[in-house]
Structure 1
Amino acid sequence: MSDQTSEAQAEGRPSVGAELAQSLATEGQRRGKSRNVRALGRLIPFARAHLTDALLALVFLVFTASATLGISGALRLLVDHLTGQGGEAPTVRSVAPWFWLLSSVAVALAVGSALRYFFVTKLGERIVADLRKAVYRHILTLDPAFFLQTRTGEVLSRLTTDVQIVENLLATSISFALRNLLTLVGALVLLVIVSPQLTGLVLLVFPVVLAPLFLFGRQVRKLTTSAQDKFAAAVGFAGESLDALETVQAFGRERTAAERFGAAVEDSFATSLTRMRARALMTAMVIALVFGGIVFVFWLAVGAGLRGEMSWGQLFQFAFLAVMAGSSVGALGEVWGEVQKAAGAMERIAGLLDARPGIAPPAKPVPLPRPRGDVAFEAVTFAYPGRPDLPALKGFSLHVHPGERVALVGPSGSGKTTVFRLLLRFYDPQAGRVVLDGVDLRDADPAEVRARLALVAQDSALFSGSAAENVRFGREDASPEAILAAVRAAQAESFLEALPQGLDTPVGERARGLSGGQRQRLAIARALVREAPVLLLDEATSALDAENERLVQEALDRAMEGRTTLVIAHRLATVLKADRIVVMEEGRVVEEGTHHDLVAKGGLYARLAALQFGEAA
């Protein structure tokens, strides 16, 4: 376990596993109360943003449904003509126009179906693309407190797998469902016109058909949500294992990790299998009830035709419409399972969209004055969410003047990293205030606050892409000249120029193609190009060997010139060069002064210096 992880636990942050369990339990209770597909209503604003495509999709849906129903009318006219009920004996010449009519309707149906597919699919794909962007954009606004409760793998599962389920509904199933729904309504209207009495019998079948739809549909939705939760847990574990793959392999735990992931996947599959059984049974019951009812009604229709109560053309039209209505109901029964599945997925996505960050810009943020780098903590008390009884800072006060270098030292759990988190406004204190250039951070826009800060952590996160792209991450509008100047100042030019494509060389995922010292210097270059007035160094050299520490320290010395600098440090070189050393214990400032003054006092710092620096203290 790293020093930072130990410090996080000591500072009272909640157990991630416990918080995740609580989060999932709360969400499970919320889902248990949901008894319909209202979650899919969250897609309406996305559809409204593309109203033209939505209207065109609706027009061609109505057109194709009308063309499908028009075939029944053309068929009725043809049969009446063939049976002589049209007033004249049929001939090859007289029959031809009716076949031309059938062909015309078929061509119109083909063209309308193509346009319907295009516009419905385009609309569905557009909605899903907007949904993906909206979910990811919202995730980026959530504060660290949210990710203490929900693992990254869980979030990624909702962003990928759940959105894919919704995409399947919108891109294919919804078109199929709407077409069948319009066909069903149109067929019922025409059935009433053809034979009201027999249509009444058809309608009596519908309640019997709809019962299994709702009975099994609800179960399908719940099982889908459960399966996705279990799969998300598997993805979360896989993400953790792959992120620490070297550790897994170093301890020979590949089989254990594979077995845990396999067990989670099998658990998800077992739930999916139960869902598939329920949906298969629902489909079988719907089709059996629909077509059983149609056969019965058709038998009655044939009797009416034989008694002369309706023409054979009417009989054929009624039979065609009845089969069409039955097929539509059966198709809707199948699609209903997809709708329930998508509703379960959309509930999980909505859980992300409904999450609100605890840190947000005020309604009228106070603009920050000209950058000076003046930092102050005034009687700050702070406890991490879920652990109010164990504050990480207790009445903490500190004033860092513009351009001053201040080192924070103290045992693990004393609150050093918490100071940085509050200054970056990842959290707000429960008491006291944090002030930057004279403005309380709670009154300012967090984005404006963070624009004045540059962070170099012990294990700085870098990204796939080139070295230049990683440096530009510090300031998006940085010119190539500014990037090169930052690289030189960070002592990174020599090793970057030795790469095959120089600064444009891809450095691999998380820059694993570079050594630890090279990554740190690249992170320092990223902080330098930011040109921020306040520099935060969180044990930036503690994990480096002597040679890399010397290079990185030289880069840090340049980075600190002309900037207010707060340093969390255990290394003697950094501490000696600080203008002031602030010693922390249990969330409070217990000593302040220079290295020599504090050693002479013989207090906590002297003991820490003796332990860490030996005789060099």
Structure 2
Amino acid sequence: MRRLFGILSATTVMVVALRIFAAAATAGLVILLGQGFDLFYRGESPDTRWYIGVAGELLALALSTFLVPVVIAHDSQQLTAYHRSKLLKHYLSIGPLAVRRAGEGELVHSAMDLVERSVKFRSSFLGPASAAVATPVLILVFIALFIDPLSAILLLIPTALVPVIVLGFQKRYGGSAGEYRRAQGILSATFLDALRSLNMLKLNGGSSWMGETIGSATERVRQQVMKLLARNQLILLVIDSSFAVLLLASSAALAWWRTSSGAMSPGLGFALIILSYLMLAPVNYVGSFFYIGMTGRAAEKKLAEIQDIPMHPSMANPLTVNLSQNGLFIEDLCASYNNADLALNKINLQFPVGSRTAIVGPSGSGKSTLIRVLQGQLQSSAGIIHDGRQAMGPATLKANTAVVEQQATLFGVSLAANLRLGAPNATDEQLRAVISQVRMDSWLADQPLGLDQPLGEGGARLSGGQAQRLALARALLAQRPVLLLDEPTSALDVHSEADIRQSLRELGSSTTIITVTHRLGLLADFDYVVVMDQGRVIQSGPREQLVNQDGYLKGALNDLSQRTAQLQASGLRALGEGKA
């Protein structure tokens, strides 16, 4: 994607050269035909050189015409892949919180529609349009050298009016492309929200409302498109009625005048009129400029704004630490999503090597926020996280933690590809071992393609429990010293939950497990409990100590016991768990 002359890529320069070469071949062919007409007019026959010249010009024209679309198609494919890969890497670098703030729908729209418009502008428009602008100058040179210098000078006057007219319309209507881009972005974001919320909309009877919302966004896009097209047609009308008619009329008058005065032959006068028609090449791109050109430039402006979103610190080079031997310590930690209200306030915790810690508390207490900080996805605003020797930033935390979220994230590729996301160099034997570790070896044996079995889009071919166990397998395969679990069993059936709990119990003593949970029935699997409320730690310590200590946890457990007793008294089987 190397740029030349500041804005043009090497491929664009090649397209410009080929188009100019084709214009030169066409001009040469027209002049030769004019000379041949003069020979026939005088009753003479063209010589061999004339025929060779015509054949050479035709060959050059055919070759350049053939190569231009080939070069453009190849460049478009490369540019599209390059820009989308670059955007994806940037989205990964800025982190999920920054992506949400920027708007996921807008960023998807950017990666798809805006990249296509930018590539179309760079590959299919910029090169040919630049060549079209240079074509009148080239034609005037041919007219001056081979037909009549005075005619070339006089035709320069109407030719110089085109850039003035185009720039004037651009200044007048330049904002319309930006309005269209914003409307298109709103539509993409609205449609993405609808896809994410299909189940909720159906259950709550919101289908009609969402349909009206999408319809309203679509109507705004239609209005902006119609404005662009209307202005485009106005520009074409003005250009055609002024420049095209003026240029063709001027060339016809010049041909008649110079032919009548004997300054040029009839054949060259005919060639002058044909060449003046070739000078209309810029006019053919004026309409495209105000649609492809302006929307393409607006797309590039938006893509540049996205690239300016700062990189998240988690993408920096991580420090070398050994959390398999050193504990994890948090001192006076504060964090915020909006640089104003604290989501975490003065958190002080210790996680010894190999410890199992459950973080409980009411909704909105800061549990998931703490997990995000430990993941390296949310940067703290104060305090430090360290291993007893050195402070660790987001990049170091991210490199040393494996994460299992409440909703398992899987992709529509093979089982092996999904598992290797966290360990690209893992062998097939290691994949089978970790699948057995999460108790899915019997499921794997039933898959006709084994490790190459596709999982469907978003893991659509799996049950919720299977998807969650594979997410755990992926985290275990990464073999990182700290395992972070955010409500990993909240939506699972009893058997799937039991499998995951047993898999966690069997982990080695060097793996530190930190789990966010609402289920008090799971606390028996943990050595330590942290109780949070309103962004603060209100209780923490060994589980056996806290369950006998007055406070939130003891009260929640007593409430669970009472509800269980009421159920048993009603003749129902005890649920064996409750929510914190």
With structure 2 as the length reference, what TM-score do the two structures score? 0.88
* Residues 66-88 of structure 1: CA deviation (Å, up to 9, x unaligned): 2122123313422443444xxxx
Which residue of 1 is the match for residue 210 of structure 2? 257
Which residue of 2 is the match for residue 138 of structure 1? 90
| Cα separation, 2, equivalents of 1:219 and 1:509 | 46
Residue 320 of structure 1 is aligned with which of 257, 267, 274?
A: 274
1:245 aligns with 2:204: no
In the TM superposition, residue 425 of structure 1 has moved relative to its aligned partner by 1.3
Amino acid at match of 2:500: V
Asked whether the 8 Å contact 2:314–2:398 carries over to 1, the reply is no
Pairwise mapping of residues 163-312 of structure 1 onto structure 2 (< 5 A)?
Answer: 163-193=115-145, 194-218=147-171, 221-297=174-250, 298-312=252-266
The more displaced of 332-341 and 307-316 is: 307-316
* Residues 2-33 of structure 1: CA deviation (Å, up to 9, x unaligned): xxxxxxxxxxxxxxxxxxxxxxxxxxxxxxxx
| Cα separation, 2, equivalents of 1:229 and 1:119 | 32
Asked whether the 8 Å contact 1:490–1:521 carries over to 2, the reply is yes
| Cα separation, 1, equivalents of 2:546 and 2:276 | 93
Asked whether the 8 Å contact 1:64–1:116 carries over to 2, the reply is no
Pairwise mapping of residues 70-109 of structure 1 onto structure 2 (< 5 A)?
Answer: 70-84=28-42, 90-91=43-44, 93-94=45-46, 98-99=50-51, 101-109=53-61
Amino acid at match of 2:125: S
Figure out how many residues of one structure are paired with residues of the other and give that number: 562
Asked whether the 8 Å contact 1:366–1:439 carries over to 2, the reply is no
In the TM superposition, residue 538 of structure 1 has moved relative to its aligned partner by 1.3
The alignment-based identity, stated in percent, is: 24
Asked whether the 8 Å contact 1:520–1:540 carries over to 2, the reply is yes
Residue 597 of structure 1 is aligned with which of 540, 545, 562?
A: 545
Which residue of 1 is the match for residue 373 of structure 2? 422
Q: Describe the shift of the 1:437–1:482 C-alpha distance in structure 2 as closer, same or farther (beyond 3 A).
A: farther
Asked whether the 8 Å contact 1:219–1:275 carries over to 2, the reply is no
| Cα separation, 2, equivalents of 1:611 and 1:575 | 15
3-state DSSP of counterpart to 1:592: strand
1:456 aligns with 2:404: yes
* Residues 262-303 of structure 1: CA deviation (Å, up to 9, x unaligned): 221121011011101111111121122122212331224312
In the TM superposition, residue 56 of structure 1 has moved relative to its aligned partner by 4.8
Pairwise mapping of residues 335-374 of structure 1 onto structure 2 (< 5 A)?
Answer: 335-337=288-290, 338-361=292-315, 366-369=319-322, 371-372=324-325, 374=327
| Cα separation, 1, equivalents of 2:116 and 2:340 | 42
* Residues 152-186 of structure 1: CA deviation (Å, up to 9, x unaligned): 22111111111112233344333432432332220
3-state DSSP of counterpart to 2:537: strand
Q: Tell me, which stretches of 5 or more residues in structure 1 are unaligned?
A: 1-41, 85-89
Which residue of 2 is the match for residue 66 of structure 1? 24
Which residue of 2 is the match for residue 23 of structure 1? none
Q: Report the RMSD for the aligned CA atoms in angstroms.
A: 2.9
1:115 aligns with 2:73: no
Q: Describe the shift of the 1:502–1:127 C-alpha distance in structure 2 as closer, same or farther (beyond 3 A).
A: closer
Which residue of 1 is the match for residue 569 of structure 2? none
Amino acid at match of 2:460: R
Amino acid at match of 1:217: Q
Asked whether the 8 Å contact 2:324–2:353 carries over to 1, the reply is no
| Cα separation, 2, equivalents of 1:179 and 1:570 | 66
Asked whether the 8 Å contact 2:353–2:509 carries over to 1, the reply is no
Q: Describe the shift of the 1:613–1:272 C-alpha distance in structure 2 as closer, same or farther (beyond 3 A).
A: farther
* Residues 172-208 of structure 1: CA deviation (Å, up to 9, x unaligned): 3334324323322201223344444443443332454
| Cα separation, 1, equivalents of 2:484 and 2:237 | 65
Asked whether the 8 Å contact 2:12–2:122 carries over to 1, the reply is no
In the TM superposition, residue 321 of structure 1 has moved relative to its aligned partner by 2.3
Q: Describe the shift of the 1:290–1:43 C-alpha distance in structure 2 as closer, same or farther (beyond 3 A).
A: farther
| Cα separation, 1, equivalents of 2:439 and 2:300 | 49
* Residues 514-560 of structure 1: CA deviation (Å, up to 9, x unaligned): 22222221111111111111111112122223333222221222246
| Cα separation, 1, equivalents of 2:560 and 2:431 | 36
With structure 1 as the length reference, what TM-score do the two structures score? 0.83
Amino acid at match of 2:77: E
Which residue of 2 is the match for residue 330 of structure 1? 283
In the TM superposition, residue 360 of structure 1 has moved relative to its aligned partner by 4.9
| Cα separation, 2, equivalents of 1:185 and 1:109 | 19
Amino acid at match of 1:591: Q
In the TM superposition, residue 437 of structure 1 has moved relative to its aligned partner by 6.5
Pairwise mapping of residues 417-496 of structure 1 onto structure 2 (< 5 A)?
Answer: 417-436=368-387, 438-442=389-393, 446=395, 449-496=397-444
Asked whether the 8 Å contact 1:143–1:358 carries over to 2, the reply is yes
| Cα separation, 1, equivalents of 2:377 and 2:209 | 36
Amino acid at match of 1:379: D
1:153 aligns with 2:105: yes
In the TM superposition, residue 501 of structure 1 has moved relative to its aligned partner by 4.0
| Cα separation, 1, equivalents of 2:326 and 2:416 | 27
1:545 aligns with 2:503: no
The more displaced of 140-149 and 311-320 is: 311-320
* Residues 351-396 of structure 1: CA deviation (Å, up to 9, x unaligned): 222222232555x7643347435211111111112xx331011111
Amino acid at match of 2:30: S
Asked whether the 8 Å contact 2:531–2:538 carries over to 1, the reply is yes
| Cα separation, 2, equivalents of 1:409 and 1:46 | 60
1:608 aligns with 2:561: no
